[in-house]
Amino acid sequence: MSSYIVTPVLMRNRTLKTERKQRGWTQAELAHALGVSTKTVVRWERGQSVPFPYYREKLSALFGKTVQELGLL
């Protein structure tokens, strides 16, 4: 019998996507403002990865919301 660890699947970050869309920004525009690739923003919104603390703080400042309000923790 083999054993393995199942890692939890990250949830989609609908809050981040909603905040971006409310401002009329594309994923590419947000990526440019943060200095990351569009692919990175897509991964964050899909829950495939979580922003590093540096980018969490940048997102917080950009949207005027706490990291918790943006669902980044």
**How many C-beta atoms surround the C-beta of residue 21 within 10 A?**
11
CB–CB of 40/31 below 8 Å? yes
Residue type, 51: P
Query: In the predicted model, what is the mean pLDDT of residues 65-69?
Result: 92
Determine the pLDDT at residue 31.
98
Q: How many CB atoms are closer than 10 A to CB 30?
A: 23
What is the per-residue pLDDT across 13-64, written as a single tens digit (0 to 9) for each? 889 999 999 999 999 999 999 999 999 999 999 989 999 999 999 999 999 9
User: What is the DSSP secondary structure assignment for residue 11, as one 8-state letter?
Assistant: P
* Domains delineated in the chain: 14-63 (1.10.260.40)
pLDDT at 4 over 50: no
